[in-house]
């Protein structure tokens, strides 16, 4: 893939108003109602189901694959299936090839539980279903009603699907400031509002606090309730009651509770718990907390989009660091002559040149033109606009001087001159960096978000300047009748101002909507570090992206980012990576 002669061709592109999920060669769209296989030479639809009702909406999903060498009770267990969680607390196992429902489990029992998240404890072996944080309504809190249970976790063994147990995270045991909780690789991870992260032995918790084991489909009489495990309306019993604080394995402090475990040997990734370190990731050994060599990763993104990092789930020791325009593939390896220390080495880098403009690249009838031609048109139109703006500015100064009117005293003139200066700078740097072929790829990738953001800002500022200018002209020019009496001239200019606002909003809307973006071309660079060279030589090759790298509605739904690794936001809910 990284050879200079390798080229990739875009064979298929699609768009979706809802998030797109990808699971091991299968593309899921329309809330998992449509499945497309991407393994063949051309993508093909595996199944297409009718649009589901809101009550059947799927909240999360995991792909199950048949374990090698295992004897399974049902022939359907030997084929890949999809575990989905619906908004009505149903856990369904669907055929990955046809969408047929193979198993149904009802999760919520008598307690008010809203299950929303699926994750792996051990990939393809043990699965965890988690509720949203249990919060009382404001009226209940004012009435003095206390709520001690914050989360419920239901744990399952997969293929065949079997119930291990359900436990509650109680603030009487773990503290009042708990914001989130998760299970990964046999470890219970509890997050706190102050950035504290605590780790406990999850297997030991199951063994110590399990009150009674249950099997799916088993009739039970539990705390005065009679029902069938996993059937409506009883759901699952909460058979794991943590009555005492488990022994603490590990404690760390991280900004916004960002904490991940992975790699081999075990390492963890945190962001130091200070606002100035936001976007900086430390990779440390779980054994002794030592920072790995080159273990501080800071992409220094100059973008509204944050970067994120996660361990690859294949136990290869690779770490994926993703930024707005850059993907770094890192790996853990032993330091030479020091087997007790690990270092972070760069395996290869993918640079995406996400080049935009306000409108030229977003008109569908221009997409068949070459990107270079559209660059010249974009630059030419902006150059003409700059010349006209300069001529207008000079004419305004000469008119003021001829009429003995002071210059630069109004807000309209201040903002107008500022916008013109920044517009000229924007055009100059755009020519130098993006049109001329001399700027390196990494510089273009770094400056592109600034170029886009500043272009939109200047455009909005120009609209505001025009609105202030026409208002100022009316106030000075209309004397009899006065502006306040709404003569026809005032109505006409006010309508013109409204049209300017509508025009500005339309352009900004087109510039921010993914489906108006120009389809991708050959705009991705793969850079691979060549080991053993004194100069750190890099080989560069061009590849064609098969989907728009800048789709804001694309949901990166790999097990690495969403399932196995753990990143949590400040509100206590899992942030989807």
Higher pLDDT, 5 or 529: 5
Q: 71-85, 229-243, 454-468 — which is least confidently predicted? A: 71-85
Q: 2-6, 173-177, 450-454 — which is least confidently predicted? A: 2-6
Please tell me whether residue 59 adopts helix, strand or coil conformation: strand
pTM of the model: 0.62
CA-to-CA dists, residue 225 to 5, 110, 294, angstroms: 68, 9, 57
pLDDT value at position 151? 93
> What is the C-alpha to C-alpha distance for residues 450 and 422, in angstroms, rounded to an integer?
13
Please tell me whether residue 100 adopts helix, strand or coil conformation: coil
> What is the C-alpha to C-alpha distance for residues 270 and 267, in angstroms, rounded to an integer?
10
Displacement of CA 281 from its chain's centroid (Å): 17
CB 82 within 8 A of CB 97: no
Reference 287, options 270, 264, 271; nearest CA is 264
CB 151 within 8 A of CB 131: yes
412-439 tens-digit pLDDT? 889 999 999 999 999 898 888 888 877 7
Residue 365: is its pLDDT beyond 50? yes
CB 319 within 8 A of CB 308: no
pLDDT value at position 115? 93
> What is the C-alpha to C-alpha distance for residues 62 and 123, in angstroms, rounded to an integer?
10
360-516 placed in CATH 1.20.120.1770 = yes
- Structural domain spans, the chain: 360-516
For the chain, report the end-to-end CA distance as a whole number of angstroms: 25
18-32 tens-digit pLDDT? 788 888 888 998 888
> What is the C-alpha to C-alpha distance for residues 430 and 432, in angstroms, rounded to an integer?
6
Residue 511: is its pLDDT beyond 60? yes
49-62 tens-digit pLDDT? 888 888 888 999 99
pLDDT value at position 356? 40
Residue 565: is its pLDDT beyond 80? no
pLDDT value at position 433? 86
Structure tokens at 451: 């170029």
> What is the C-alpha to C-alpha distance for residues 409 and 191, in angstroms, rounded to an integer?
55
Q: With cut-offs at 50, 70 and 90, classify the pLDDT of residue 164.
A: very high
pLDDT value at position 538? 34
pLDDT value at position 371? 65
Displacement of CA 118 from its chain's centroid (Å): 17
Reference 238, options 290, 318, 164; nearest CA is 164
Task: Please say whether the dihedral angle defined by the alpha carbons of residues 274, 569, 120 and 192, taken in this order, is positive or negative.
Answer: positive
Q: With cut-offs at 50, 70 and 90, classify the pLDDT of residue 369.
A: low
Note every long-range contact of 489-493, with CB atoms under 8 Å and residues 24 or more positions apart, other chains counting: none
CA-to-CA dists, residue 210 to 51, 125, 161, 214, 216, angstroms: 41, 20, 19, 10, 16
Checking phi first, is residue 257 left (phi over 0); if not, alpha (psi -120 to 50) or beta?
A: left
């Amino acid at each position: 893939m990284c050879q200079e002669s390798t080229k990739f061709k875009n064979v298929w592109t699609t768009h979706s108003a809802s998030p797109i999920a990808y699971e091991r060669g299968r593309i899921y769209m329309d809330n998992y109602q449509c499945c497309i296989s991407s393994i063949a030479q051309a993508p093909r639809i595996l199944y297409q189901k009718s649009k589901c009702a809101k009550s059947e909406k799927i909240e999360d999903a995991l792909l199950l694959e048949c374990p090698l060498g295992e004897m399974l009770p049902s022939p359907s267990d030997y084929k890949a299936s999809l575990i989905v969680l619906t908004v009505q607390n149903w856990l369904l196992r669907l055929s990955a090839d046809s969408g047929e429902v193979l198993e149904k489990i009802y999760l919520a029992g008598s307690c008010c539980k809203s299950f929303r998240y699926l994750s792996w404890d051990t990939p393809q072996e043990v699965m965890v279903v988690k509720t949203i944080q249990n919060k009382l309504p404001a009226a209940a809190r004012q009435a003095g009603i206390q709520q001690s249970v914050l989360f419920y976790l239901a744990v399952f063994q997969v293929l065949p699907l079997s119930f291990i147990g359900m436990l509650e995270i109680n603030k009487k045991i773990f503290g009042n400031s708990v914001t989130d909780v998760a299970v990964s690789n046999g470890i219970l991870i509890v997050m706190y509002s102050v950035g504290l992260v605590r780790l406990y032995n999850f297997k030991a918790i199951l063994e110590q606090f399990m009150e009674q084991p249950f099997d799916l489909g088993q009739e039970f009489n539990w705390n005065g309730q009679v029902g069938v495990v996993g059937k409506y309306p009883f759901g699952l019993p909460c058979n794991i009651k943590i009555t005492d604080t488990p022994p603490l394995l590990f404690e760390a402090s991280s900004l916004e509770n960002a904490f991940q475990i992975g790699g081999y040997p075990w390492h963890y990734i945190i962001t130091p718990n200070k606002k100035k370190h936001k976007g900086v990731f430390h990779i440390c050994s779980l054994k002794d907390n030592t920072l790995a060599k080159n273990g501080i990763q800071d992409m220094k993104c100059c973008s509204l989009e944050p970067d994120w990092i996660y361990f690859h789930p294949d136990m290869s020791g690779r770490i994926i660091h993703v930024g707005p325009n850059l993907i770094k593939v890192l790996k853990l390896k032993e330091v030479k002559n020091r087997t007790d220390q690990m270092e972070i080495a760069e395996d290869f880098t993918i640079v995406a040149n996400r080049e935009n403009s306000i409108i030229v690249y977003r008109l569908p009838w221009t997409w068949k033109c070459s990107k270079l031609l559209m660059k010249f048109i974009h630059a030419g139109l902006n150059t003409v606009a700059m010349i006209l703006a300069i001529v207008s500015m000079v004419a305004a100064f000469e008119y003021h001087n001829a009429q003995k009117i002071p210059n630069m005293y109004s807000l309209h003139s201040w903002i107008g001159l500022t916008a013109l200066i920044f517009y000229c700078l924007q055009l100059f740097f755009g020519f130098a960096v993006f049109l001329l072929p001399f700027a390196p790829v990494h510089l273009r990738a770094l400056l592109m978000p600034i170029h886009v953001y500043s272009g939109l800002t200047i455009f909005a500022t120009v609209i505001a300047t025009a609105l202030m200018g026409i208002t100022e002209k009316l106030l000075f020019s209309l004397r009899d009748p006065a502006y306040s009496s709404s003569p026809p001239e005032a109505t006409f200019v006010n309508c013109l101002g409204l049209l300017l606002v509508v025009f500005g909003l339309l352009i900004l809307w087109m510039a921010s909507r993914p489906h108006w973006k120009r389809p991708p071309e050959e705009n991705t660079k793969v850079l691979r570090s060549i080991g053993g060279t004194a100069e750190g030589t890099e080989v560069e090759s061009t590849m064609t992206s098969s989907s728009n790298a800048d789709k804001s509605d694309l949901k990166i739904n790999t097990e690495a980012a969403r399932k196995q690794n753990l990143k949590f936001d400040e509100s206590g809910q899992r942030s989807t990576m």
